[in-house]
Structure formats: C-alpha cells, structure tokens
C-alpha cells in the first residue's frame, strides 16, 4: 500500500510528534503536574447533559410537542418555545455552546416550569462561559441534578468573590459547602475565599486527612501559601516539608519549596533542593529553569494573590477532572479560573481540555484561537493543539495554517518543524516538506528515525527512489522492528518489482508485529499477489477489506486478486466499488480501464498503484 498507507502513517507520526509539543508547553507549574497517582480509584464523575457521549450526532428527529407547549409560547420576535428548544439542541450537538445557551435561555424564560430546559440551558451557559446566567437560572429551580445544581453553587460563590463580595461567598460556602460531584473544586477554592473574607481561622484549617487524597495534598499546599502570606513562615515551611518528605508528593512540590526558600533569602538551600531533584532524574522542566534562575540570582516568583491562588486551585481541580475523563467539569472549573485570573496559560489549558472531547472540540478551537501571541511558547502550543484537532477533522489546510503559525511563534522548535513537514506531506506538498526536513532544525547528526522515515516517504512520493530507499533503510536500521517502517520499505520493493522476496519478508514481519492493521495486511496480500500466490492473496486481501472497507486501494487490490483466480464478476464488483470511494485521478482512470478491458497481463504484474 503506497499513498493510503502513507497518509495513515503520517497521521500517526504527526499525532505522536505533536502531542508532546502541545502537552509539554508551557513549562509546568504545580497545577500542571499529572495527579493520577494521588488518587485511590475515585468514582467516575457523571457528565453534564449535553449530548450522548461517544456517539455520532443522530439525524434530527421531531419530538412530540409537550402539552405545556400546545399552543407553544412565543417570544417578542415570534419564535416559538419549541422551535427555540430544537434550535438550541441542534446548536449543542454541533458544539456551538454560545448559540445553544442563547436559544435555551430564551426557552427557559418562556417556560420556566420545564426543569429539563432549565438544566440544559444552565449546562450550555456553563460550558459557554456565561456564568452569571448559569447561576441565576440554577437558583430558580431546586429540582436540578446534583451535577448542575452543585456546579451552580460553586459558580455563585466564585462570582461573588470575583465581584469583591468574598464575605458573602464565604458565608455561603460555610453554611452549605459545595458537595459531590464538585466537592473537590469547592474544597480547594474555599480557603482562598475565606482568606479574602478575612476569615483566617477557616482559611488555615487543616484539611481532613480522611477525605479526598488530592484535596489533602493540595489543601496542605494551599495552607502553606496562606501561612506564608500571614508571615507565619515556620508553620509554612513545616507544611511544605510534609509534602517534600513524602516520596510520592516530593516531585510535585520540590520547585514550590525551593521558591519559598528563595523568598526567605536561603538561596543555597534552594539550589540544593533543585539539584537533588535533578540528580534523581526528575522530568519536570520547571526544575532546571528554577535552578538556572536561582544560580543567576534571579528574582523568585512572588506568592500568588488571593484571586490567583483561587484560580490555581480551580485549575488543579480541572486537571484532575480531565484526567478522570470529565472534560465538561474541567471546562467549567477553568471558566471560573479565567473569571478570577485570565492568563494565556489558562486559556490554552481550557482550549486543550475542550478539544479532548468530541462534543466540545469546536468550543476548544474557538478558545485556542483566543490565546495571545505572547508568551510565544504558549501561543505555539495553542496553535499546535489547534492543528492536531483540525487535522483529526480532516481540515488539513486549516491544520497546516495552525502549524505554520506555531512555527512563526517558535521558529527554533524542531518538534513544530517536524509536525509542519508531516502536515505538508498529508497535503502532498512534498517539495515544501523536504525543504523543512532537509533544513538545519531536522537534518542533524542525531536526527531520529521518524525524520528519516518522513524524508524517505517524501522522496518516494516524488519518484526519487534511490534517495527514498537510502533514508527508509537508515530509519529501519535505527528501529528494525517498527512495523510502519518495515511495511513501507517492503511495499516499495514489492510494488516496484526490484526486491520482491526481501520486501515480502519485511511485510510479513510487519504483519506479525501488528496483525490488526488493515493497511499492513493489504501490503501482505499484494506481496502474495506479486509472487503469483493468488489464492492466498484473495484470502489475505478479503481480511484487509474487512478491516478497511472504505479504502479504495485495498478494494482495488482485492478486485485484481479476484480476477486472477477467475472470479470475474466479483472482480468487477470490487472495481466498481472503488469508484464510489473517492479514488485519486490515477486510480480512477486505471479502474475504469480494468472495468472496460479486464486485467491485462501487463497490469497484473505492473499495476503498482
């Protein structure tokens, strides 16, 4: 398999290359560290009620009009409540949460007696960021589910804090703490609100050690920061030492502890903390940056303000919710964090989180487009995430534009150069891809096998076969058991008829390593075909078509195999099917010729498509 396999392979390579870029930038702070190891099998979080999870949006159906809407109320513009409801649901199913919230809020105004409408309108408003409406709508209906009702309680408290009404928020939270499924977010943000209200006794209360492990750990960290704000430095250090002395939490809090020491003027001790982490092989890039700053006697980060601390607490809750596949909850928490402290980092995190769930991807794309150009590394990461999401939607030109924007922001980042080259390959712009692949960022002495592979694939697509073979062979020597490399070079040799036996053996190894890959199975069947093993090829290619039924090339190969074993009617059916699968112009012409003339002896040994 040549072109189809290439595109499939490049998509895999692109995702592997760029997921690292999107996830590694920006350099993590405390709230950026993965937290799953702190959990003890938490119960799954229920989703908000947008649309069915993991399902394709069904064709719209017209529900029976509820009796309460017959005759249906109309707004000032003459729009019916039921029409607005259908429009709102349609908008939600397409990820247009702003529009959906507008429609559903209008329905809720017309029919306040409909609890399901209130729930959906509140959900849409939460995800769209219309927090004030969500809080108002939820407060008017006591029948809402816990997922919505408790989210609205959290939103109301945070918005009071944002409006400089921290005392009111604190009274609300003390009288009725936020409960499941949003108890974690409520517990993490409450101390900051209490501190802003002047209720330091509540703010500095030790976390309940029998509760949520994540709340215990980050509750201690929040308490340490608040103690430092009160200039109770010995107690603050004691709280941090508890976290540093625990092997499970030490990697997360090593940098914050070092920064505390720097603020206390204990630079040498801070350097020792950083050096110990580096010596232990910590992967945290913030550790090296902190050490470099301390060694050059740079200024350590200041303590967060109360609003910044509350925003960080909500971000921590969001990251853990996302780790538990509750992206909708994470989006709500990040909306609240942005209301308190709008930073490029939090905008990026909101967009990245939203793109992880199919129903939220359009929302994520919209948010990522809002990330400002500075800091450059944050903007580049946002553009990479946009590109990944757009590529997954087959919006390849838009994806390329996003990757190129990332390149402009971080022109020295080899990872972004690599993904841009991969996207150019997806668009069959091989000369442009080679210009990047052969440039100084990627064509280095220590370049990785995947760079060699991409370069070889570009050369092959341009018909520069000797150069392609050299690059692909070098890539294979670096990763001799990689099925993608084995399949690609093996197919090149089989299809060109130059080293058929050797290529067939490589494809067989690739298939043994990844027997479920339909593209590799097609290559195996085509190798059998080229060696005259037509009966075996039919069986292999039938299995490949079963795995990749919409693949034009595989169906074409199966048609050829059917012809060679005398199953002419089935061959014609397969070739006719190819024409329905959007083949490229070259394949379309070849298939039309086979339908008219059959498979000629020349075609049977030289198809090579």
Q: Given pLDDT bands bounded at 50, 70 and 90, which one contains residue 84?
A: low
**Residue 28: what pLDDT?**
36
**141 phi and psi, to 5 degrees?**
-140, 110
Least confident of 121-135, 399-413, 417-431, 581-595: 121-135
**Residue 7: what pLDDT?**
39
**Residue 140: what pLDDT?**
58
Give the mean model confidence (pLDDT) for residues 468-474: 96
- Kindly tell me if the per-residue pLDDT of 341 is higher than 60: yes
**Residue 42: what pLDDT?**
36
Global confidence as pTM:
0.75
Give the mean model confidence (pLDDT) for residues 7-22: 43
- Kindly tell me if the per-residue pLDDT of 197 is higher than 90: yes
Out of 134-148, 280-294, 358-372, 551-565, the most confident range is: 551-565
**Residue 77: what pLDDT?**
75
Residues 6+ apart with CB under 8 A from 190: 157, 170, 173, 177, 178, 202
- Write the CA distances from 94 to 58, 133, 449, integer angstroms: 11, 21, 39
Question: What sign has the CA pseudo-torsion 105, 109, 114, 119?
Answer: positive
- Kindly tell me if the per-residue pLDDT of 552 is higher than 90: yes
Q: How far apart are the first and last CA of the chain?
A: 8
**Residue 75: what pLDDT?**
72
**Residue 533: what pLDDT?**
95
Domains and CATH numbers, the chain: 10-26+372-478 (1.25.40.10), 50-144 (1.25.40), 163-342 (1.25.40)
Burial class (CB in 10 A: 0-12, 13-18, 19+), 242: middle
Bigger pLDDT: 229 vs 94: 229
Q: Given pLDDT bands bounded at 50, 70 and 90, which one contains residue 21?
A: low
Q: Given pLDDT bands bounded at 50, 70 and 90, which one contains residue 345?
A: very high
**Residue 29: what pLDDT?**
44
48: DSSP letter = P
**Residue 607: what pLDDT?**
46
**Residue 148: what pLDDT?**
82
pLDDT digit string, tens, across residues 226-254: 999 999 999 999 999 999 999 999 999 99
Which residues are 74's β-sheet partners?
A: 80
pLDDT digit string, tens, across residues 496-528: 888 999 999 999 999 999 999 999 999 999 999
- Round the average pLDDT of the chain to a whole number and report it: 84
What are 360-369's contacts with CB under 8 Å, separation 24+? Answer: 360/95, 360/127, 360/327, 360/328, 360/331, 361/95, 361/389, 361/393, 362/94, 362/95, 362/96, 363/95, 363/97, 363/127, 363/128, 363/331, 364/389, 365/389, 365/390
| Percent above pLDDT 90 for the chain | 67
**Residue 22: what pLDDT?**
54
Q: Given pLDDT bands bounded at 50, 70 and 90, which one contains residue 59?
A: very low
Residue position matching structure tokens 């070849």:
590
Over the range 394-432, which residues count as b (16 or more CB within 10 Å of their CB) and which as e? eebebbbbbbebbbebbeebbbbbbbbbbbbbbeeebee
Bigger pLDDT: 606 vs 170: 170
What number of residues does the chain have?
609
């Amino acid at each position: 398999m040549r072109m189809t396999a290439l595109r499939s392979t490049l998509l895999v390579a692109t995702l592997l290359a760029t997921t690292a870029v999107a996830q590694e930038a920006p350099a993590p702070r405390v709230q950026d560290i993965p937290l799953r190891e702190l959990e003890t099998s938490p119960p799954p979080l229920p989703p908000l009620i947008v649309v069915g999870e993991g399902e394709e949006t069904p064709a719209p159906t017209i529900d029976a009009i509820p009796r309460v809407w017959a005759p249906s109320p109309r707004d000032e513009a003459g729009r019916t409540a039921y029409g607005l409801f259908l429009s709102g649901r349609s908008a939600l199913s397409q990820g247009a949460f702003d529009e959906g919230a507008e429609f559903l809020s209008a329905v809720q105004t017309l029919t306040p007696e409909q609890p399901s409408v209130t729930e959906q309108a509140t959900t849409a408003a939460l995800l769209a960021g219309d927090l004030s409406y969500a809080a108002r709508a939820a407060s008017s209906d006591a029948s809402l589910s816990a997922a919505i009702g408790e989210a609205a309680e959290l939103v109301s408290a945070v918005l009071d804090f944002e409006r400089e009404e921290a005392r009111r928020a604190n009274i609300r939270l003390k009288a009725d703490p936020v409960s499941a499924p949003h108890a974690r977010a409520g517990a993490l943000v409450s101390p900051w609100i209490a501190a802003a209200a002047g209720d330091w006794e509540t703010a500095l209360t030790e976390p309940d050690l029998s509760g949520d492990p994540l709340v215990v750990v980050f509750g201690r960290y929040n308490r340490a920061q608040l103690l430092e704000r009160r200039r109770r430095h010995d107690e603050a250090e004691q709280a941090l030492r508890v976290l540093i002395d625990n092997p499970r939490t030490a990697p997360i809090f090593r940098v914050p502890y070092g920064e505390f020491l720097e603020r206390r003027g204990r630079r040498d001790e801070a350097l020792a903390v950083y050096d110990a982490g580096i010596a232990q092989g910590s992967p945290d890039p913030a550790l090296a940056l902190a050490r470099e700053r301390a060694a050059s006697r740079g200024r350590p980060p200041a303590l967060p303000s109360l609003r910044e601390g509350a925003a960080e607490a909500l971000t921590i809750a969001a990251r853990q919710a996302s780790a538990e596949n509750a992206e909708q909850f994470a989006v709500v928490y990040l909306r609240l964090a942005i209301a308190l402290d709008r930073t490029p980092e939090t905008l990026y995190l909101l967009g990245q989180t939203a793109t992880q769930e199919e129903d939220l991807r359009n929302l994520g794309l919209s948010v990522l487009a809002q990330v400002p150009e500075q800091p450059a590394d944050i903007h580049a990461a946002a553009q990479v995430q946009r590109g990944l999401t757009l590529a997954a939607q087959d919006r390849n030109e838009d994806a390329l534009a996003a990757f190129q924007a990332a390149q402009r922001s971080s022109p020295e980042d080899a990872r972004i150069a690599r993904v841009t080259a991969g996207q150019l390959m997806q668009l069959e712009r091989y000369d442009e891809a080679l210009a990047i692949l052969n440039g100084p960022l990627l064509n280095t002495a220590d370049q990785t096998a995947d760079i060699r592979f991409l370069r070889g694939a570009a050369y092959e697509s341009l018909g520069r076969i000797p150069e392609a073979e050299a690059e692909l062979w070098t890539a294979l020597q670096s990763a001799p058991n990689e099925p993608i490399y084995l399949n690609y070079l093996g197919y090149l040799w089989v299809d060109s008829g130059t080293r058929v036996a050797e290529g067939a053996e490589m494809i067989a190894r690739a298939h043994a390593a990844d027997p479920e890959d339909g593209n590799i199975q097609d290559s195996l069947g085509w190798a059998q075909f080229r060696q005259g093993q037509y009966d075996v090829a039919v069986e292999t290619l039938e299995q490949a078509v079963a795995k990749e039924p919409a693949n034009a090339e595989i169906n074409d190969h199966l048609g050829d195999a059917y012809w060679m074993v005398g199953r002419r009617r089935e061959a014609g059916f397969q070739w006719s099917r190819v024409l329905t699968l959007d083949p490229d112009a070259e394949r379309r012409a070849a298939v039309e010729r086979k339908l008219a003339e059959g498979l000629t002896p020349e075609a049977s040994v030289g198809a090579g498509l």
